[in-house]
Structure 1
Amino acid sequence: MNKKKVELLAPAGSFEGMKAAINAGADAVYIGGLLFGARAYANNLDTQTLKEAIDYVHIHGKSLYLTVNTLLKNEELNEQLYDYIKEYYEYGLDAVIVQDMGVFQFIKENFPNLAIHASTQMSICGVEGAKLLKELGAQRVVTARELSLNELKEIHDQVDIEIESFVHGALCYCYSGQCLLSSFIGGRSGNRGRCAQPCRLPYKVMKDNKQINSNKETYVLSPKDMCTIDILPDIIEAGVYSFKIEGRMKKPEYAAGVVRIYRKYIDLYLEKGRNGYYVEETDRKELEDIFNRCGFNQGYYKVHNDRNMITLKEPVKRTRNEALYEELTKYIENESKEKIKGRLTLLQNTPAKLELEFKHIKVTTTGNVVEAAMKQPMDKDRIEKQILKTGNTPFVFESLEICMEDSIFLPIQSLNELRRVALENLQKQILSEFRRENSLNYKKELGQENQKRSMDEKPILNVYIEKEEYLKEVLRFSEVDGVYLDINFIDKPMDYYIDLCHKSNKKCILSLPHIFRNTKKTTFQPYESLLVSNLDGVLIKNYEEYQYIQSLGFKKDIIIDYNVYTFNDKAHEFWIKNNIAYDTAPVELNDKELLNRGLNESELIIYGHLPVMVSAQCIHKTIEKCDKKDIKLYLKDRMNKQFYVRNHCKYCYNVIYNCEPLVLLDNKKEIKALTPKSLRLHFTMEDTKDIAKIMQWYIDCYIYDKSVKHDFTAFTRGHFKRGIE
């Protein structure tokens, strides 16, 4: 099959949604099974129905991609994943969409002929990340929604990998894969497909204890839906191959309606080019009627962030266009038919023969012996009428040649049986080209035996700081082994900070930005000048930074933060094998799951207001203005919880922090039993005068085994005990 210049990829939250999308013109669908999909509450397909869906798309010359785009715990990866994938793999599954690096490695090893698409949950934001995934074996990268046309073109020009990007539907406020808000406030993790969408709720924006947003503009985290129908030529010319429509939680009519309009305009561009491209107003109106959230925006293709992208006002309940939805049901009820050619041969005293041809596939089926007519011979028109009855099959005759002798007879029942068997044989032959044999013998991985350190060993204590004024306080404590310096506050030569740390006998580790988007070119202080020879290490937070640091030949420690997820042994093992000194333990696993995974080469965060959202949008710009100033804002929710918001202007992203600090002072016994490689305190918004007090509590508790009474009134133990589903 010749590869199209553009693929139109549709959501399928059900079998009916899959049919509707294919019948409306989608080239491929992405769909979830019963496990490991990022839409756990969709009407996901059971095993038999999913296999029927695979056959359905293949008969129609389309593709089906299975969402395996959540983070997997050890027991899931080792005990469930192989059997789950195996049946679909052998049946002809076209690709899997993957977030978890452990899952990525597992599929590559056990199902080497199965294409892997790197999920948007991996937050791939540029050339470096795409290069890494290409080198690791990904066929396609689903880019972060926040990328511009120029950034997409850079990836297309520099990396030989398929690019898939969202073109229509809902937008997350946060970079996909970087959101823990639902997880921390309600225990429903987006990384496990269970996001409760707290971004769609109202918030007051607080500054100096005063609300600064209007009571009519409280939906500050809720983006409008994206619609790119007017800029499709730009996106195609930027090098995007797969045009992805969001909406697995929506009705089949939604998929059909959006697909048919995007199909129309993709085909228009491919036929007539940019100069012949024109969008009819009636089609724009139809997209609005199908679904929109307070109107549309064009996504991030031409803007980095924008107030007009956010709903701000409470979404108005719309009256559904019932006539339109009724019209769209035809895509569910009426199946598209594939054209076939036929040749029927009926010769006396010879078995009846029906030859069918579909594209390059030919099948021949024989039936009962044709007899001499005793009374009335068979009528050619009636024979043709019977053979052309393809009924509920996916085929329709484009042409039928009938070669027959005079004065012959064959019962109608025999003729019908010949047609039925011939069509079944054709379908089997078409689908046989997709079937695979899995010759590998999978051996369950029981997990690594972690050589644990003695619980009596003095733990290594590192401190992460996001403000320069914290550094002096931290350096006073001889018990601290290393200091992570957040790159956003660095405004002096790096040697200045390194010298201060080294004079206090502490390692100096530079923490790179949450998001790496052309920052090596655009910031006033290039990375190369920061990565000086006497720096002790770097803490990285995304795939781009890893690839970039590797390309520089950096020889000191490379540490990955918790948002480069290592939920399972396989993911952890991958990074350790690829020159990572150690990783940061996942913050969504509980103590028992951490014990199962092992922390021998992992750092555990035991204090801090952890980031729960990283966004390209800016609260300060949305409500006030963009003035490149670090402004202290809070989001107050309906429960009067306040979430600290920091605008990092140097690298142009926002971080929203959890309303309560993670405090694990009362869990020393369980944490020591885990024997982590090191412990981390994370300081973000604390008053400088409180830094020493908090540090002393933790040092007394973990270094000197003293009993500590702290005065935290509002705090959380995160997922250390509760975990996530």
Structure 2
Amino acid sequence: MPKLIPKRLGADQDRSHAVLQKPEILAPAGDWECARAAVENGADAIFFGLDRFNARMRGKNFTEADLPDLMAYLHGRGVRGYVTFNTLVFSNELADAESFLRSIIRSGVDAAIVQDVGICQLIRKISSDFPIHASTQMSVTSEAGVHFAEELGSSVVVLARECSLKEVHAIKEKTLNKGLDMPLEIFVHGALCVAYSGQCLTSESLGGRSANRGECAQACRLPYGLYSDGEPVDLGDRRYLLSPQDLAGLDAMDEIIDAGVASLKIEGRLKAPEYVAAVTSVYRKALDDAWTRRHGEAAHTPAPYRQAEGRYALEMTFSRGLSTGWLGGIDNQKLVHARFGKKRGLRLGVIDRIERDGIWLRLEHPLKAGDGVVIDRGRPDEHEEGGRITSVDTNVDESFIRFFQGSINWKRVEPGQVVYKTSDPALDKSLRQSFEVEQPNYKRPIHASVSGRVGAPLSLTLRDDEGHIAQAQSEPELQAARNKPLDEAMLRKQLGRLGGSAFYLGDLDIDLAGDCMLPVSALNQLRRNAVDLLMAHRAEPLRWQMNPAPQITIGEPAAVGKASSPYLIPYVRNAEQFAVALELPYDEIYLELEDPRKYAAAVAQARGAEEADGRTRQIWVAPPRMFKSGEDFLIKQLLNCGADGFLARNHEHLTALADYRMRGDFSLNVANHLSAAYFIERWGLERLTASYDLNTAQLDALLSHSPAGSFEITLHQHMPMFHMEHCVFCAFLSEGKDFRDCGRPCDSHQVQLKDRVGALHPLKADAGCRNTLFNSKAQTGAEYIESMTAQGAGAYRIEFLNETGEEVRRTMQHYADLLAGEISAEHLWKELKLINQLGVTRGTLER
């Protein structure tokens, strides 16, 4: 399997398309057992986390001490290993991060998967050639994002899960047309986040556990109630409104290959080794089968690909229901069934009647004694009945399933309830046997060439698909053959006896002068010598260039000249709020509207206000937070609206709005001063909004290492939690699958989601039909304003959501009084509680 590397195409090269290469299978590994399960079932690469700076801190993870042995094992088996360094890193952690990165690079791992822009910069300062893979946490959804990642030194880009295969293909074609052949990686199987990775602030907002720091609390898997215009909507048993089915790209394998995808990523670093074994094996066989059908290359697999068996293994090892996610485009009716948010397995059928210690039903799938089942009562958040079954008796088309006596509370079981198969011990046993082996279960090809002539040694050269080459020569010289000369059949037979090695013999080239012979014992010894030498080469750690000079010193002095005069900026979201903001004494106003076509009229309204009172105002427009390939009409609306500047929120804005004044919004995830310097120096951003993942201590570290005035702080807001391609309006207030047939209920209804503690969180749709769920309570950092001002904060943003014009007026006045020192933070806190009926919180800024 060739390494994944980007290529710059010359002017004379065909840029219309790239030569399709077989994608790699990239499997998750949370521990040693999972790593072996992946390797023995055909993974080309694995990705794994260490005990710091990775997005699955709830898992076991490997340690730095494991790296030498792990990489020697992987490379000995022809498998690559990628370390996940996919979290945001704070300024006061950069020295520690550098030390950690040096250890990773020194260990010879194949690449690091990185989210943080500053960490990409740091890696390039440490090593000029160590591979960086741009994480899906970077929220790359367009060709602009691919070029952004390339400038950071990335050699692979992991696209957002929300990209359809049509969009993936368009991204590939557009980057090729600009002379870049960048390997693209997509998720092909596993748990599907409802929010854009890198843009979900739910766990941070509700509990101070940042998903961008590997501490996701999975609030998307919880039940919610739907309220429209203040009234509850009866959805029956559908309460898991934000819990997508698991992704399964099995049926889209041909389209995935056609889209030019380079790597197929399987989610699941928190899953059991049986899951890793099953999913890796299924996708290995499915990819080999599809590739062979399309390209005629023979695939070497332990067993033929059987789709039904594969689907069964996927359903049984872990499934919330399987769908193609966004691979086939948006279908809001299929993505989220909303009936449960946890593992279910295979649907067996509906209970027809109950007798003594068993149930009658028409089985939709096979079942046997020893299997485990669960009975779905429509309340998956409560205790559910289920257990192991003792027998299955079938009468015509109905089956009687009997349970262990006393294992079921029959008072809680009724006809009409759905039964799911959740466990198959026989399958688990076979999966475990696939990786609990003494000799390799999955083997990779080595290619051999032999040459020689009578009177000279026989030379054997072995090469693998990773580029390793080993050459050995026989001790006895070749002799003239008397009756049985060396021929292809004999050489293939003897050289193919690779026994307990991890190889099988692939191509064989023969270059012998005349009829030669060599004793079989000498031929076998020659093979053993060459294989041993090849294995030694594979076990050698990769050597990356390393700059010995430290790049981040511990205890860096804070930047000087922190005196600043921060000011307030109102951020408004509707016409009433905007009208009030125009009346208030603020020179800058941030404006975000659901319909970008209304920006031109709003700017014209501001110009009219200027003519009336002679006071200049700057109108800064906040475009939609995400941009996907094909949404150029949104950019055109921005370019023609007449705004004074824009909040850059994604990679497309950085490029498309480069001729205008720009400030970086929170969605750029700037958490350290290395990231900040890059955005300001490379992209010309006037100022940045600090990431919402930072508390005040981390903000202090960021501000103290940055020039005065280079950051603005969102001092007051309803924290945006989930930011989703999934449209709740469409899924549950219409029968349509997307904006073309949903009737746009978002235009006529105010929607909230009620969580388990009774909080009603407002839901908004943007121009791209993406939904954002906002925290019901307003957050204020008023108590920390003195510290942030002393550290050089340039401005304070006051964001409004559904507040009335009068609430905007009163809130801005109170913050103006606070900034002027006329009221205390405690007094403001009390006033905000009076203004905001749902209350106010210190939120994520609290230390």
| TM-score normalised over the length of structure 1 | 0.85
**Equivalent in the alignment of 2:49:** 32
1:540 aligns with 2:648: yes
Deviations 1:377-412 (A, max 9, x none): xxxxxxxx9xx9987x7578999986779xxxxxxx
SS in 2 for 1:563: helix
| CA deviation after TM superposition for structure 1 residue 200, in Å | 0.3
User: What per-residue deviation string (whole Å, max 9, x for no partner) do you get for residues 676-703 of structure 1?
Assistant: 0111100111122211111111111113
- Matching of residues 234-273 of structure 1 within 5 Å: 234-273=255-294
- C-alpha separation between the residues in 1 aligned to 2:498 and 2:262? 38
Query: Alpha carbons of 1:618 and 1:134: their partners in 2 closer, same or farther (altered >3 Å)?
Result: same
Partner of 2:543: 435
Measured in 1, the distance between the counterparts of 2:161 and 2:697 equals 35
Alignment of 1:533-612 (within 5 A): 535-550=643-658, 554-555=659-660, 557-578=661-682, 579-598=684-703, 600=708, 601-612=710-721
Matched, 1:715 2:840: yes
Residue number in structure 2 paired with 1:689: 806
- Tell whether the 8 Å contact from 1:34 to 1:46 is kept in structure 2 after alignment: yes
CA–CA distance in 2 between the matches of 1:331 and 1:101?
Answer: 40
| Partner secondary structure for residue 807 of structure 2 | helix
- Provide Cα deviations, 1:19-70, integer angstroms capped at 9, x if missing partner: 1112111111111112111111122111232322212221222211110000
- Structure 1 distance, partners of 2:139, 2:247, is 18
Which of 279, 282, 288 in structure 1 is aligned with 2:315? 288
The one-letter code sitting in structure 1 at the alignment partner of 2:591 is: L
Please say if residues 31 and 64 of structure 1, whose CA atoms lie closer than 8 Å, have aligned partners that are also in contact.
Answer: yes
The structural deviation recorded for 1:215 is 4.8
Alpha carbons of structure 1 residues 500 and 305: separation in structure 2 relative to 1, 3 Å? farther
Deviation at 1:165, TM superposition (A): 0.5
Of the structure 1 ranges 66-75 and 697-706, higher mean CA displacement relative to structure 2 is found in 697-706
Q: 1:366 to 1:74 in 2, by over 3 A?
A: farther
In the other structure, the counterpart of 2:240 is: 219
Distance 1:443 1:665, change over 3 A: closer
The residue that corresponds to 1:634 in the other structure is 752
1:526 paired to 2:637: yes
Seen in structure 2, the aligned counterparts of structure 1 residues 340 and 507 have a Cα distance that, compared at 3 Å, is closer
Aligned to 2:70: 53
Amino acid at match of 2:652: E
State the alpha-carbon separation in 2 of the partners of residues 524 and 67 from structure 1. 34
Q: What is the Cα deviation at residue 113 of structure 1? A: 1.1
Distance in 2 of aligned mates of 1:358 and 1:152: 34
- Distance in 1 (alpha carbons) for counterparts of 2:580 and 2:619: 15
C-alpha change, 1:693 and 1:433, in structure 2 (3 Å) is closer
Secondary structure at the aligned position of 2:187 is classed as: strand
Q: Which residue does the alignment assign to 2:96?
A: 80
Which residue in 2 is equivalent to 1:346?
none
Structure-2 separation of matches of 1:431 and 1:197? 39
Deviations 1:608-660 (A, max 9, x none): 11211110111111111122243311111111111110122x22110110121
580, 591, 596: which is aligned to 1:473?
A: 580
Partner of 2:604: 496
What residue identity is the alignment partner of 2:323? N
| Range with greater deviation from structure 2 (326-335 or 632-641) | 326-335
* SS at structure 2 position matched to 1:547: helix
Q: Which amino acid aligns with 2:590?
A: Y
1:127 corresponding residue in structure 2: 143
Which residue among 50, 63, 79 is the counterpart of 2:80?
Answer: 63
Contact 1:643 1:658 in 2 (8 A): yes
Q: 1:428–1:705: structure 2 CA closer, same or farther, 3 Å change rule?
A: farther
Cα-to-partner distance string for 1:461-500 (whole Å, 9 max, x where unaligned): 111111121112112221x231011142442525414414
Of 92, 109, 123, the match for 1:93: 109
Distance 2:212 2:519 in 1: 59
Asked if 1:324 corresponds to 2:445, the answer is no
Other structure's SS at 2:811 match = helix
Distance 1:447 1:365, change over 3 A: farther
Q: Cα offset for 1:170?
A: 0.7
- 1:281 deviates by 2.6
Q: Which amino acid aligns with 2:664?
A: I
| Separation in structure 2 between the aligned mates of residue 29 and residue 312 of structure 1, nearest angstrom | 32
Shift in CA distance, 339/224, structure 1 to aligned 2, threshold 3 Å: closer
Matched, 1:297 2:323: yes
**1:423: how far off?**
7.3
Report if aligned partners of 2:696, 2:784 keep a CA contact under 8 Å in 1. Answer: no
In structure 2, distance between residues paired with 1:55 and 1:608: 50
Q: Describe how 1:287-366 pairs up with structure 2 within 5 A.
A: 287-293=314-320, 295-314=321-340, 315=342, 316=344, 317=374, 318-334=421-437, 335-336=440-441, 357=462, 359=464, 361-362=469-470
Which amino acid letter does the alignment assign opposite residue 506 of structure 1? R
The alpha-carbon deviation at position 547 of structure 1 amounts to 2.0
**Residue 452 of structure 1: CA displacement?**
4.0
Tell me which amino acid in the other structure corresponds to 1:716: T
The residue aligned with 1:382 is: none
* Contact 2:460-2:527 at 8 Å conserved across structures: no
Q: Structure 2, unaligned stretches of length 5 or more?
A: 4-20, 176-180, 298-303, 345-373, 375-420, 450-457, 476-493, 509-516, 735-741, 834-838
Residues 277-327 of structure 1: per-residue CA shift (max 9 Å, x gap)? 99733322232122210x211111222241221131124455211111110
Q: Write out aligned runs for 1:615-654 (5 A).
A: 615-625=724-734, 626-628=742-744, 629-630=746-747, 631-648=749-766, 650-654=767-771
How does 1:405-416 map onto structure 2 within 5 Å?
none
Does the C-alpha gap of structure 1 residues 428 and 90 become closer, same or farther in structure 2, counting only changes over 3 Å? Answer: farther
How many Å separate the matches in 2 of 1:514 and 1:401? 70
Inter-partner Cα distance in structure 2 for 1:420 and 1:561: 61
SS in 2 for 1:289: helix
Q: Which residue of 2 aligns with 1:44?
A: 61
- 2:562·2:790 contact (CA, 8 Å) conserved in 1? no
Inter-partner Cα distance in structure 1 for 2:536 and 2:295 = 42
> The residue matched to 2:243 in structure 1 has which SS?
strand
Alignment partner of 1:220: what SS? coil
Structure-2 separation of matches of 1:524 and 1:433: 47
1:506-537 CA distance string (max 9 Å, x none):
2111111111124653459633312x3xx321
The gaps in structure 1 that reach 5 residues or longer are 344-352, 368-384, 406-414
Q: Which one-letter code corresponds to 1:319 in the other structure? A: T
Match in the other structure for 1:140: 156
| 1:659 counterpart = 2:776 | yes
1:462 aligned partner, one-letter code = I
Give 2:310's aligned amino acid: D
Q: Aligned with 2:535: secondary structure?
A: helix
* Secondary structure of 1:451 counterpart: coil
448 and 274 in structure 1: CA distance in 2 versus 1, 3 angstrom threshold = farther
How many residue pairs are counted as aligned between the two chains?
672
Map 1:451-462 to 2 at 5 A. Answer: 451-454=560-563, 457=565, 459-462=566-569
Question: Mean Cα displacement is larger for which, 220-229 or 201-210?
Answer: 201-210
Which range moved further: 100-109 or 208-217? Answer: 208-217
**Displacement, 1:437?**
5.2
What letter corresponds to residue 613 of structure 1 in structure 2?
A: F
Partner of 1:678: 795
The one-letter amino acid of 1:701's match is L
Q: How far 1:210 moved relative to its partner?
A: 2.1
Return the offset for 1:154: 1.2
1:14 aligns with 2:31: yes
SS in 2 for 1:604: strand
CA RMSD of aligned residues (A): 3.4
- Given the alignment, which residue of 583, 588, 593 partners 1:482? 588
**How far apart are 1:216 and its partner, in Å?**
1.3
